[in-house]
Amino acid sequence: MAIALKQRGRSFELHYAAPTKEMCAFYSYLTSHYPEETHFYFSKAGQKMSTDIMKKNKESVPTFIFAAHLQ
């Protein structure tokens, strides 16, 4: 999805929550290919994802949310 949007020149945001970046699938790929579009929240570092964070962008930008709960 991100590849298609980027190829079409469309704006998007990806918000990804995981316990740590080591437990975050595709972390290296996402940060190297989409550094401006991706936002990460790592619970073991005390970071929490909230809808308030996503509301800061006043433009109509497609927003995708992914949360991983790994044990």
pLDDT in tens, 7-46: 998 888 888 889 999 999 899 999 999 999 998 999 999 8
Instruction: Say how many domains are in the chain.
Output: 1
Write out the residue range of the structural domain in which residue 17 sits. 2-67
Please give the order of strands across the beta sheet that includes 38-42. Answer: 38-42, 13-18, 63-67
The CA distance from 39 to 1, in Å, is 16
pTM over 0.85: no
CB < 8 Å & 24+ apart, contacts of 23-26: 23/68, 23/70, 24/68, 25/68
Q: Which letter does DSSP use for residue 21 in this model?
A: G
Higher pLDDT: 51 or 36? It is: 36
Asked whether the beta carbons of 19 and 43 are under 8 A apart, the reply is yes
